[in-house]
Amino acid sequence: MRRLRLLPLLLLLLLPRPGAPGPGDDASPPDAAQEPLPGLRERLREAVALSRRYWALLRCRVWPKDCERAEEAGAGLLGWSLPLLGQQYLDILTSWYCSFQACCDSGDCRISNNFTGLEWDLSVRLHGQHLARELVLTTVRGYLELPRPDKALALSFHGWSGTGKNFVARLLAENLYRDGLRSDCVETFIATLHFPHPKYVDLYKEKLASQIKETQERCHQTLFIFDEAEKLHPGMLEALRPHLERQAPENHRVESQKTIFLFLSNIGGNTINEAVLTLLQAGGAREEIRLDQLAPQLQAEMAESTDTGFGHSCLVKENLIDFFIPFLPLEYHHVRLCARDAFLSQGLPYTEEALDQIAKMMVYIPKEEQLFSSQGCKSISQRISYFLP
């Protein structure tokens, strides 16, 4: 056991210290009069403290029950997230350990339902989306805490590209399942990738029904994500009806099945943007915008749309979707926060000037007000490479 605990420490010593100068930074030459030992001691203290965090997260992966007991005792570990490089080290350690020891590696034992972590992520990592933050947390937690729900939970995310729809779907997966989007209990479908040809819709329907059934047999709690939902063939939407309808009590399994469907769509983006612009021009505060100020216009646009069958599908007409959640257009300061997060997620240094430069690279609309980023935060992570030292 001691050897296992020493391995994270040795790997961590290879990581750059937070705030340490990078290869291109100006570092002052060592002073012969300075004693090196205090700096070494500080580095070791930091490594030991961080090693304890890694050890706790590794323990959560291979011994989930111990992790749950630690959380109940108030250890508060699950709200702590790793940078990308640290996550890769943790993956290596987990694979190494599980290569010769039995681990909880699939199915229901990998379900975490970390609502504390979800609340933290939605509050700290999601920017400019107070409606989505409140609705997603409340509806998902409320649904999963029901002892025997009589239907699946269906949420439909609407807004322009880059406003955070896919990001929230990923946060849900990461906090409900220990393996996130890679979980055996999570399935993601992209309309144009998985169901591209209308002439094969019958084959797609059969395959989709089989995948849903297999996933539900594998896990009592499942998550299905449908990206580009507005491009789904009407036949595919019809095929989902049995999975979203209310189930009679006698049809319940001994262990209650809980299923969440997420539909991500750009439908309604223009309507949401226009409504937000009108409210802001009238002197309203962004954080005071309510769902009832946007929902009627959003549903009206879906009903009037002729470019997609989503708004005319049985899912919408028969009220099988529980909530339509609008994602608001992002402003300049939101884009800066996205740029900051992109640097931090890769463990890279940044300056306030770099954040401003990245934010100014985006196109803002309307032409007169220059208020909303036309791409939201999309492509931000690619743009930071221009500002690395």
pLDDT value at residue 145: 95
Q: Using an 8 Å Cβ cutoff, are 243 and 212 in contact?
A: yes
Confidence of residue 77 (pLDDT cuts 50, 70, 90): very low
Q: What is the mean pLDDT of residues 40-69?
A: 62
Is the same domain home to 128 and 174?
Answer: yes
CA 199/CA 220 separation, integer angstroms: 33
Please choose, from the candidates 205, 254, 258, 265, the residue with its C-alpha nearest in 3D space to the C-alpha of residue 231. Answer: 265
Which helix (H) or strand (E) element contains residue 49?
helix 36-62
Lowest-pLDDT choice from 75-89, 256-270, 272-286? 75-89
Indicate if the pLDDT at residue 84 is higher than 60.
Answer: no
Q: Is the peptide bond before 242 cis (omega within 30 degrees of 0)?
A: no
Q: Which pLDDT score is estimated for 302?
A: 85
The answer to whether residue 144 scores a pLDDT higher than 90 is yes
Residue 36 located in a structural domain:
no
DSSP at 111: B
Residue 96 pLDDT exceeds 90: no
CATH code of the domain covering residue 144: 3.40.50.300
Q: Are residues 280 and 231 in the same domain?
A: yes
Q: DSSP per residue over 86-104, as a string? A: HHHHHHHHHHHHHTTS---
Q: How many domains does the chain have?
A: 2
pLDDT for residue 277 = 95
Shared-domain flag, residues 283 and 364: no
Nearest one of 274, 312, 316 to 293, comparing CA atoms: 274
If asked whether residues 237 and 311 sit together in one domain, one would say: yes
Q: Which residue type occupies 355?
A: L
| Same structural domain, 340 and 241 | no
What's residue 25's pLDDT? 47
Whether 121 has a pLDDT exceeding 80, the answer reads yes
Q: Taking 70 as the threshold, does the pLDDT of residue 85 lie above it?
A: no
Name residues whose C-beta falls within 8 Å of residue 385's C-beta, 6 or more positions apart in sequence. Answer: none
Instruction: Report the chain's mean pLDDT, rounded to a whole number.
Output: 82
Return the pLDDT at 83.
53
Minimum mean pLDDT range among 139-143, 170-174, 311-315, 326-330? 311-315
pLDDT above 80 for 68: no
Whether the predicted pLDDT of 32 surpasses 50: no
**Has residue 268 been placed in a domain?**
yes
The residue-averaged pLDDT of 270-293 equals 94
Domain finish residue from 307, 328, 349:
328
- pLDDT mean over 252-260: 74
Residue 77 lies in a domain: no
Share of the chain above pLDDT 70, in %: 70
Q: Is there a single domain that holds both residue 357 and residue 213?
A: no
For 369, the domain range is: 333-386
Q: What pLDDT score was predicted for residue 386? A: 83
23 versus 126: which is more confidently predicted? 126
Q: Do 324 and 345 lie in a common domain?
A: no
Contact 116, 79 (CB under 8 A): yes
Contacts of 348 (CB under 8 A, 6+ apart): 22, 384, 388
Assess whether 131 and 229 both reside in one domain. Answer: yes
Indicate the residue type of 331.
E
Residues 226 and 133 in one domain: yes
pLDDT reading at 61 higher than 70: no
Question: Does any domain span residue 372?
Answer: yes
Q: Indicate the residue among 328, 346, 375 that finishes a domain.
A: 328
In the chain, pLDDT over 90 holds for what percent of residues? 58
Residues 309 and 228 in one domain: yes
Does any domain span residue 65? Answer: no
Q: Which of 80-84, 131-135, 371-375 has the lowest mean pLDDT?
A: 80-84
Regarding whether 301 and 342 lie in a shared domain, the answer is no
Name the residue with higher pLDDT: 349 or 7. 349
What is the predicted pLDDT for the residue at 203?
96
Q: How confident is the model at residue 82 (pLDDT cuts 50, 70, 90)?
A: low
Q: What is the pLDDT of residues 20-29, one digit of tens each?
A: 444 444 444 4
